[in-house]
Amino acid sequence: MTSAVLFLAFVVMLLGGVPIAVSLGLAGTLAIAIGGQGLLALPTNVYTGIAKYPLIALPMFVLVGSVFDRTGVALRLVRFASALVGAGRGALATVSVLVAMVIGGISGSGPATSAAVGQVVTKSMIRDGYPRAFIASTVGAAAATDILIPPSIAFIIYAVLVPGVSVPAIFAAGMFPGILAGLAIIVPILILSAIHDFGGKTRNESRPGVWESFKGAFWGLLAPVIILGGMRVGAFTPTEAAVMAVFYGLFIGFVIYRTLTHRDVYEMLVEAAELSAVILMVVALASVFAWATATLGIIEPIATGIVALGLGEYGTIALLMLALIVIGMFLDGVSTYLILVPILVPIANAFHWDLVWFGVILTMKVAIGQFTPPLAVNLMVSCKIAGVRMEDTVPWVTWMIIAMLAALGLVVIFPDIALWLPRVLGY
């Protein structure tokens, strides 16, 4: 009865337009009150929900995304990728995906990358003969790789929630699945571009030289190497890496490119503070929801019931992925993790799944949700920049969703795609 009240209250408030964080907190509080538990423990749970050392990296990586957006790194990466790929059908769309993957190794935020890449490539893609709905679909799908390619805010949240999973280990595990997801998205982009003759309309324009564009993009390309390489050699922790990335971005903006002003720094700090506050508010109030599920004994019956269905490993994974895809259409990735990870981890333990691998496939599902209508945060950003309605993207984005589902299937069938690199690195 209490569990029904908990989830029903959350769904009703969510459908009523109540913010996700408030819905989670109030639903958890209501369930605790009905269950006769002490309400005085709520403030402590709100505090402990965010009083975790790895979460310090979260606002820093959010700030990194703003810094590299304003320094002009994305524009220089587009020029370099265009010089490598050339002109032709689907070329500029492919460039968008490649640039988003590199930006993913800097910011770790899908919506931030969708904004950065979308602002740079949208006008060029329109001139090159791409329809606006296809552009929005491409940018929104490409930006979804960012929560897979480290550093990743989603991976940080998962590592905080799951004991025994370290941030460096899951960062390493996400590298190859992230690259695989990006390559998978490129496949339908090239096929659709060839069928519908998208791109190649401006091939007579001057093409940037490879060496010249590489020199311009060098400092941006070096950022992921510094962030991930520094963590690997033990020079700094993931949290310290986020701080180093901020100072590196400011160094590029003020000293190398000279594109930043003191006014920009103030605006970036405000922007990062607002976005970080939203994320951490969800984390804090979701801890009340999670505490209610644990204290009232809701998690174990649900997990036991799913395991008892007798579907086996792959059948259970298929069921979970189907449920998570539907949930991902309506909830953002952070909320999905905070609500469902406490339920899903016992299921993973029952089948003796590697929790690092399990975190990667969950994150791939969350990535798919970021560009799956009707609530697709990446797609919302890219549609706004392209000036198109989200429903207009469905004929195009559907193929990209299928492509990433295929990549997800490969990681499920071949776990070493995710686990080989952390094993080699000794995590």
What is the model's pTM? Answer: 0.81
pLDDT of residue 109: 64
pLDDT of residue 329: 67
Select the more confidently predicted residue: 413 or 53. 413
Question: Is pLDDT above 80 for 160?
Answer: yes
Worst-scoring range by mean pLDDT, 24-28, 211-215, 327-331, 356-360? Answer: 327-331
Question: Is pLDDT above 90 for 420?
Answer: yes
For the purposes of burial, counting CB atoms within 10 Å of the CB of 164, is it exposed (0-12), middle (13-18) or buried (19 or more)? exposed
List Cβ neighbours of 240 (8 Å cut-off, separation of 6 or more): none
- Taking the C-alpha atoms of residue 231 and residue 49, their distance in angstroms, rounded to an integer, is 25
Cα end-to-end distance, the chain, whole Å: 43
What is the mean pLDDT of the segment spanning 274-290?
A: 80
DSSP 200: -
Q: Which of 97, 79, 107 is nearest to 249 (CA)?
A: 107
pLDDT by residue (tens digit) across 69-84? 788 777 787 778 777 7
Q: Residue 107, SS3? A: coil
pLDDT by residue (tens digit) across 381-413? 888 888 898 889 999 999 999 999 999 999 999
User: 89 — phi, psi (to 5°)?
Assistant: -65, 125
pLDDT of residue 226: 79
For the purposes of burial, counting CB atoms within 10 Å of the CB of 4, is it exposed (0-12), middle (13-18) or buried (19 or more)? exposed
Distances from the Cα of 143 to the Cαs of 108, 196, 216, 344, 380, in angstroms?
Answer: 10, 23, 22, 26, 12
pLDDT of residue 408: 93
Select the more confidently predicted residue: 97 or 212. 97
The tally of CA atoms less than 13 A away on the side-chain side of residue 48 is: 10
Return the exposure string of 183-207: e unless at least 16 CB atoms fall within 10 Å of the residue's CB, then b.
ebbbebbbebbeeeebbbbeeeeee
